[in-house]
Structure formats: C-alpha cells, structure tokens
Amino acid sequence: MTTPPPFESMSLEERTAILRALAHRIQISARVAERDFDPVCQLLLALSVRLEGCCEEVAADPLRGDDVVEKALRLLSECALRRPEGTIHEFAITSRH
C-alpha cells in the first residue's frame, strides 16, 4: 500500500475533490446525528453546506486546505465515536432502501 501525497502537493483538482468528498461525508454524519436526535446535526449540516460552497477557494490555498482537511477528519472521527451502536456506513447502506 502506498502513502498518498501530502494535500499541499496535490493538484488543485485533487484538492477540490477531496474537500467535496469531506463535505459529503460531513453531510452523511449530519443525517446520522439527525436520525439519532443529536442536536449537533444542524451544525454538521451547516458545515457541510459551507464547505461544499467554498471548496475551490479553500483548495486554492494548500496550507489552508490542509488545515481544513485535518479538522474535518477530526470532526468525522469524533462523530463516529459518539455512535458506538451504528456507523456512518450502516446509515449510508440503509438509507438507500
């Protein structure tokens, strides 16, 4: 398995794609939180919308983007830890049916 390149050394398109994917993952976490009646769901949803709206701007500044990625990953990890009985993946699978 190879180690992915650091965020700042990726192309603008790759950085933008990563930020869009993180926005989508945060949105999924918001839906899981909403399902579990967790009040954090509104904050997560607002963050996902904001990140989706400024992906290109953030991606254009590699250092800022790196900081955003780090914080988004930490937030997603914390959200996953709050839900020991279910996972984001479980929600993604069951919400399609």
63 domain-assigned: yes
CA 90 to CA 50: how far, in whole Å? Answer: 25
64 domain-assigned: yes
Confidence bin at 97 (pLDDT 50/70/90): very low
The total domain count for the chain is 1
Task: Specify the pTM.
Answer: 0.78
7 domain-assigned: no
41 domain-assigned: yes
Which domain covers residue 72, as residue numbers?
Answer: 12-94
Q: 41-49 contacts: CB < 8 A, separation 24 or more?
A: 44/75, 44/79, 47/75, 48/23, 48/24, 49/23
5 domain-assigned: no
Task: Quick: pLDDT tens for 31-81.
Answer: 988 888 888 888 889 999 999 999 999 999 988 998 998 888 888 888 878
- CA distances to 59, 75, 84 from 69, rounded to whole Å, are 10, 10, 24
In this predicted structure, which of 6-10, 14-18, 31-35, 91-95 has the lowest mean pLDDT?
91-95
Half-sphere exposure of 59 (CA within 13 A, CB side): 20
21 domain-assigned: yes
